[in-house]
Structure 1
Amino acid sequence: MAETAPADLPPSLWASSAPPPPATGPLLGDCRADVAVIGGGFTGLSAALHLAEGGAETVLVEAAQIGFGASGRNNGQVIPNLSRLDPDDIVAGVRPEHGGRDKGEQLVALIRDSASLVFDLIRRHGIAAEAVQKGWFQPAHRPSRMKLVEKRVRQWGQRGAPVRLLDQEEVARLSGSAFWQGGWENPTGGRINPMGFARGLAGAAIAAGARVHTGSPATAIAREEGGWRVTTPRGRVLAQRLVIATHAYTPPGLWPGLERSLVPVRSYQMATTPLSDNIRKTILPEGHALSDTQGDLHFFRFDASGRLITGGGLILPFGWDGRIRARIGARLRRVFPQVGEFGFTHAWWGYIAATDDKAPHLYELAPGVLAWTGCNGRGVALATALGREMARASLGRPLSEIAAPVEPLRRIAGHAFAPLGVAWNQALFRWKDRRD
Structure 2
Amino acid sequence: MTAKGNLWRDSAGESISTVPLSGDVTADLCVIGGGFTGCSAALRAAGAGASVVLIEAETVGHGGSGRNVGLVNAGLWTPPEEITQLLPDQAAGFIARLGEAPAEVFRLIERHQIDCEPVRNGTLHLAHAEAGMADLRNRHRQQAALGAPVRLLDAAETRARTGTDGFHGALLDMRAGTVQPLGYARGLARAAIGAGARLHEMTPATAVRHEGGTWHVTTPGGTIRAGALILATNAYHRPFDGPGVPPVVIPSFFQAATAPLPEATLEAILPGGEGCWDTGLVMTSVRRDRAGRLILGAFGSMEAAGRGVHLAWARRKLAALYPALAGQAFTHAWSGRIAMTGDHLPKILRLGPRGLAAFGYSGRGIAPGTVFGAALAEALVSGSEDGLPLRPVDGHRDGFAGLRGAWIETGATLVHATGARF
Q: Which residue of 2 aligns with 1:174?
A: 161
Q: 1:169-202 deviations in whole A, cap 9, x for unaligned?
A: 1111111111111121111211111111111111
Q: What secondary structure is seen at the aligned counterpart in 2 of 1:60?
A: strand
Q: Which residue of 1 aligns with 2:82?
A: 89
Cα 1:429–1:327 shift into 2, 3 Å: closer
Query: Contact conserved, 1:107 with 1:405, CA < 8 A, in 2?
Result: no
Can you give the 5+ residue segments of structure 2 that lack an aligned partner in the other structure? none
Q: Is 1:362 the counterpart of 2:348 in the alignment? A: yes
Query: Contact conserved, 2:302 with 2:334, CA < 8 A, in 1?
Result: no
Query: Contact conserved, 2:258 with 2:293, CA < 8 A, in 1?
Result: yes
Q: What secondary structure is seen at the aligned counterpart in 2 of 1:395?
A: helix
Q: 1:245-299 deviations in whole A, cap 9, x for unaligned?
A: 0000111245446242x12211111110111111111111111111111111121
Calculate percent identity across the aligned residue pairs: 38
Q: Work out the CA distance in 2 between the residues paired with 1:314 and 1:35.
A: 36
Query: Which of 342, 363, 373 is matched with 2:328 structurally?
Result: 342
Can you give the 5+ residue segments of structure 1 that lack an aligned partner in the other structure? 1-9, 95-100
Q: Work out the CA distance in 2 between the residues paired with 1:307 and 1:283.
A: 11
The one-letter code of the counterpart of 2:58 is A
Q: 1:275-331 deviations in whole A, cap 9, x for unaligned?
A: 111111111111111111111112111111110011212399743332222111101
Q: Work out the CA distance in 2 between the residues paired with 1:257 and 1:68.
A: 19
Query: Contact conserved, 2:57 with 2:203, CA < 8 A, in 1?
Result: yes
Q: Is 1:272 the counterpart of 2:284 in the alignment? A: no
TM-score in terms of structure 2 length: 0.93
Q: What secondary structure is seen at the aligned counterpart in 2 of 1:121?
A: helix
Q: Which moved more, 1:150-159 or 1:122-131?
A: 150-159
Q: What secondary structure is seen at the aligned counterpart in 1 of 2:91?
A: helix
The one-letter code of the counterpart of 1:207 is G
Q: Work out the CA distance in 1 between the residues paired with 2:410 and 2:61.
A: 30
Shift of 1:434: 4.2
Query: Contact conserved, 1:295 with 1:429, CA < 8 A, in 2?
Result: no
Q: 1:55-113 deviations in whole A, cap 9, x for unaligned?
A: 11111011111111111011111111322x1011112112xxxxxx3422111112211
Q: Which residue of 2 aligns with 1:331?
A: 317
Q: Which residue of 1 aligns with 2:66?
A: 72
Cα 1:411–1:428 shift into 2, 3 Å: farther
Q: Work out the CA distance in 1 between the residues paired with 2:136 and 2:36.
A: 29
Q: Which residue of 2 aligns with 1:209?
A: 196
Cα 1:321–1:38 shift into 2, 3 Å: same
Q: Which residue of 1 aligns with 2:152?
A: 165
Cα 1:222–1:392 shift into 2, 3 Å: same
Cα 1:189–1:105 shift into 2, 3 Å: same
Q: 1:34-73 deviations in whole A, cap 9, x for unaligned?
A: 1100000000000000111111111101111111111101
Shift of 1:412: 1.7
Cα 1:402–1:182 shift into 2, 3 Å: same
Q: Work out the CA distance in 1 between the residues paired with 2:411 and 2:242.
A: 28
Q: Is 1:105 the counterpart of 2:92 in the alignment? A: yes
Q: Is 1:47 the counterpart of 2:38 in the alignment? A: no
Q: Work out the CA distance in 1 between the residues paired with 2:278 and 2:237.
A: 29
Query: Which of 21, 28, 46 is matched with 2:22 structurally?
Result: 28
Q: What secondary structure is seen at the aligned counterpart in 1 of 2:223?
A: strand
The one-letter code of the counterpart of 1:117 is E
Query: Contact conserved, 1:263 with 1:354, CA < 8 A, in 2?
Result: yes
TM-score in terms of structure 1 length: 0.90
Q: Which residue of 2 aligns with 1:185?
A: 172
Q: Is 1:133 the counterpart of 2:120 in the alignment? A: yes
Q: What secondary structure is seen at the aligned counterpart in 1 of 2:320?
A: helix
The one-letter code of the counterpart of 1:308 is L
Q: What secondary structure is seen at the aligned counterpart in 1 of 2:261?
A: coil
Q: What secondary structure is seen at the aligned counterpart in 1 of 2:152?
A: strand
Query: Contact conserved, 1:315 with 1:424, CA < 8 A, in 2?
Result: no
Q: Work out the CA distance in 2 between the residues paired with 1:255 and 1:263.
A: 21
Q: Which residue of 2 aligns with 1:3?
A: none
Q: Work out the CA distance in 1 between the residues paired with 2:415 and 2:36.
A: 28
Q: Is 1:263 the counterpart of 2:267 in the alignment? A: no
Q: How does 1:199-348 map to 2 (within 5 A)?
A: 199-256=186-243, 258-260=245-247, 262-314=248-300, 318-348=304-334
Q: Work out the CA distance in 1 between the residues paired with 2:383 and 2:286.
A: 39
Shift of 1:340: 4.1
Q: Which residue of 1 aligns with 2:384?
A: 398
Q: Is 1:352 the counterpart of 2:338 in the alignment? A: yes
Q: Which residue of 2 aligns with 1:156?
A: 143
